[in-house]
Amino acid sequence: MLRVIQALGLTSNSRKDLPPAVDDVSFEARAGRVTALLGAAGAGKTTSLRLMLELQQGRGITYFRGRPLHRIAHPSREVGVLLGDVPGHPARTVRGHLRMLCAAAGVPVRRADEVLEVVGLVSLRDERLGTLSRGMDRRLGLACALLADPHTLLLDDPTDGLSARENQWLYGMLRAHATQGGTVLFTTADPKEAARAADQVVTLDAGRLVADQEAAEFARTRLRPRVAVRSPHAARLAALLAKEARTAQRSVEVVREGGNRLSVYGSTCAGIGETAFRHGILVHQLADEIGDMGPGAVAVSSEESHAPGGPHPEGVDRESGPSELSGPAGTQAGASEGEGRPRAAARSAEALKAIGHLSPLPPPISVRPAPSPLRPLRYELRRAAGIGTGFLTGAAVLVTSALTAVLLARIGHTPQPRLLAAWPRELPLPPAALGAGLLGALAFGDEFRHPALAADRGTVPRRLGLLAAKLVVAAATALLLAVLTVGCDAEVLYLVYGRELTEVPADWLSLGASWIGLVVGCAWAGVLAAGTFRSTTAGLAAVVAVPVLVVPLVHKALEGASVRAAAGLPARLREVFLLQWPFGGERYLAAVARVLVQPVGGALTLSLTALLCAYVLTTLRSRVR
């Protein structure tokens, strides 16, 4: 059978005055099988998964079908991951979220509808992520993991908070994936759940591997069979069972679990039923169960795996003490631990020797940035159009700009170009520029606040392809906003005051270039600043800082007699290039040059250049690591 996952020497970095959360853990998970990573809270299950996925620094290496994750061209097509809740904007629909991730994974958009049908969310495809229940969120997480049709599934406590029926459905899905030749590895804190759902159980305790067993061997050596009894006369029945066991010299242990429930170890349903019948005791439940061995067997105790007052797995008693956990079965579990360590260590040594690692320490694990979406422009379009923030921001900008223009016209003393742009001298930027900057900042800010792209691959991608897509979409949005703002302002001024205030200025070409350059430049500044500083607030602050801080500095630098005017620029351009520009192209070039030599244009250009350099520098630093 093909060895698909090989985790070798996984060791997390040491914590202050504490041992590492994971210490030299090695195991294998094979194709066509379901493997459970079992351990109590704090045993190192989640840390092991994060080390395998290179989301956390440490030592060790994990091979997925012979290759570490950072050497797989498209990791999402090899490994599907579910870690915690589904990260996504709460206002995005279920279908819209999956369609966006289709572009990131490079799969056809119809795949979103296919996985929705598989996980049973077709009827909820138009629901918002923020309204989903815990069970529906888990189904969506599984849909995201299956989106790129991966060979391997890694799931961290996938049944946390689910009902018994939902647990059965989820494990049925995982079993179907394994039956088709895939590999499944999931973590759990419930030993009975691991025995029922898995083919192989890898047990961790305090960050170390203590057993690696087949599920049947695990159930035989590390779980205790018992009979669950419910009766309104539980105390009397318990006393009778204990008395008969002493008389017959049989090893029977009866545990009161509170209320009318008993757990009887060492007996059978038939024997207990006959005792109850002979003494006329009413019985409401009589069923065989598998109970965990408690802390002595490194299985999970209820105190460790469940918060006080929360739900508890069937067959686990919160009130019972160490007395019910003693006996021959505990000795078997201890023997299994002792045997598990040498076998695991031998397998680890053999695997390391076979691969050719000569160093006694496994190689270091470094956190690598996520790859950019395979179709970044399509991804960015679906991201921007999938929620109503952009549309609401645009509508607010148009209304604010129109009201400001009407108010400025009523007050008077405002030049017509500023009137059409709704830009009073008291404000550093007009509403359109601020709105474009906010939309640009959200382009990257939403990635860090709701990291759908980085759910299973570490940090948000810092790739020039993704940046270029965001700049293109931000520029198109800003251009549309600039044109609509001037059009709406002119229309409102015409309706309120007549044609006098809506005449086209004589130098409309240079004014239009300046206006478009200002709005697009603010949008780009928001994108670059939010991508560099990983925050929407930082992106918007960088936009506002251009007129408030950078413009005065540029204006002061340009003051003085040493600064010459750019008069006669078109003629000199024709002299330099020795040709006549077609369609009067030198006029457009001259308009752009005049924009750049203005204080606002120069400041914006300077800010964009600095932000772009900072973004490229941080991207190169992350790649060097």
Q: What is the pLDDT of residue 623?
A: 56
Bridge partners of residue 261, in order along the sequence? 230
Q: What is the pLDDT of residue 111?
A: 92
Angle formed at CA 19 by CA 17 and CA 23, multiple of 5 degrees: 160
Q: What is the pLDDT of residue 355?
A: 40
Decide if pLDDT at 312 tops 50: no
- Tens-digit pLDDT profile for residues 343-353: 444 444 444 34
Per the listing, tokens 């590999």 go with 183
Size of the chain in residues:
625
Quick one: what percent of the chain has pLDDT higher than 70? 77
Mean pLDDT value across the chain: 78
Give mean pLDDT, residues 120-141. 90
Decide if pLDDT at 564 tops 90: no
| 25-30: strand order across its sheet | 25-30, 3-12, 58-64, 364-365
Q: What is the pLDDT of residue 116?
A: 92
Strands, E, within 115-205: which ranges? 152-156, 183-188, 200-205
Quick one: what percent of the chain has pLDDT higher than 90? 27
Q: What is the pLDDT of residue 562?
A: 46
Give yes or no for a contact between 297 and 222, defined as CB atoms under 8 angstroms apart.
yes
Where on the phi/psi map is residue 325: left (φ > 0), alpha (ψ -120 to 50), or beta?
alpha
- Tens-digit pLDDT profile for residues 456-515: 666 777 788 888 999 999 999 999 999 999 999 999 998 988 887 777 777 787 788 888
Give mean pLDDT, residues 93-105. 92
Tell whether pTM > 0.85. no
Give yes or no for a contact between 298 and 337, defined as CB atoms under 8 angstroms apart.
yes
Output 429 or 327, whichever has higher pLDDT: 429
CA dihedral 158, 162, 165, 171 (to 10 degrees): 0
The DSSP code for 458 is S
| Cα 380 from Cα 475, distance rounded (Å) | 13
Q: What is the pLDDT of residue 94?
A: 93
Q: What is the pLDDT of residue 127?
A: 92
Closest CA to 285 of 224, 242, 237, 329: 237
Give yes or no for a contact between 253 and 265, defined as CB atoms under 8 angstroms apart.
yes
- Which of 270-284, 490-504, 600-614 comes out lowest in average pLDDT? 600-614
Q: What is the pLDDT of residue 320?
A: 34
- Tens-digit pLDDT profile for residues 206-224: 889 988 889 888 887 777 7
Give the CA distances from residue 203 to residues 212, 298, 333, 499, 511, in Å, rounded to whole numbers and listed in that order: 6, 8, 12, 81, 70
Strands, E, within 200-284: which ranges? 200-205, 208-214, 223-230, 253-256, 261-265
| Cα 388 from Cα 390, distance rounded (Å) | 6
Q: What is the pLDDT of residue 477?
A: 95
Longest dimension (CA), the chain: 118
Tokens of 621: 């630093």
- Tens-digit pLDDT profile for residues 329-379: 333 333 333 444 444 444 444 443 444 443 456 678 777 777 778 899 999
- Which of 441-455, 482-496, 526-540 comes out lowest in average pLDDT? 441-455
Work out the pLDDT band at 313, boundaries 50, 70, 90.
very low
- Tens-digit pLDDT profile for residues 46-75: 999 999 988 888 899 999 988 888 888 888
Which domains can be identified in the chain, with CATH numbers?
A: 222-319 (3.30.70.980), 376-624 (no CATH)
Output 396 or 302, whichever has higher pLDDT: 396
